Amino acid sequence: SALTQVAVAATYVAVFVPAVHRGGLEGELSTKVSRTYLALLALGAIGQLVGVLVGCLARNVTAAQLLVPPIVVPAFMCAGYFFQLNDLSKGIQYLIWPFWFVSYLRYAFTILVVTEFRSGKFVVCSPTSDHNYCPFNSYSDEPWHGVDRDVVITDYLDIPQGTVFPYYYLVLLGFVAGLYALVYAAVALKTLRED
The model's pLDDT over 90-112, given as tens digits with 9 standing for 90+, comes to 888 888 888 988 999 999 998 88
Q: What is the mean pLDDT of residues 77-86?
A: 82
> What pLDDT does residue 103 have?
92
Q: How confident is the model at residue 26 (pLDDT cuts 50, 70, 90)?
A: low
DSSP reduced 3-state for 12: helix
Whether 56 has a pLDDT exceeding 60, the answer reads yes
Backbone angles phi, psi at 22, to 5 degrees: -95, 15
DSSP reduced 3-state for 195: coil
Could you write out the three-class secondary structure of 53-86?
HHHHHCCCHHHHHHHHHHHHHHHHHCCCCCCCHH
pLDDT digits (tens, 9 = 90+) for 115-161: 877 655 544 455 565 555 555 544 445 544 444 445 556 556 667 66
* pLDDT > 90 in the chain, percent: 43
| CA dihedral over 147, 152, 156, 158, signed as positive or negative | negative
* C-beta separation of 39 from 172 below 8 A: yes
> What pLDDT does residue 139 have?
47
Mean pLDDT of the chain: 81
> What pLDDT does residue 134 have?
52
Cα distance between residue 70 and residue 74, in whole Å:
7
Q: How many helices (H) and strands (E) does the chain have?
A: 7, 0
Cα distance between residue 159 and residue 109, in whole Å:
11
> What pLDDT does residue 74 have?
92
Q: What is the mean pLDDT of residues 4-30?
A: 83
Cα distance between residue 176 and residue 101, in whole Å:
15
pLDDT digits (tens, 9 = 90+) for 35-48: 999 999 999 999 99
How far from each other are the two terminal CA atoms of the chain, in whole angstroms? 27
Q: Nearest 5°: CA angle at 148, between 123 and 168?
A: 115
Q: What is the mean pLDDT of residues 3-19?
A: 91
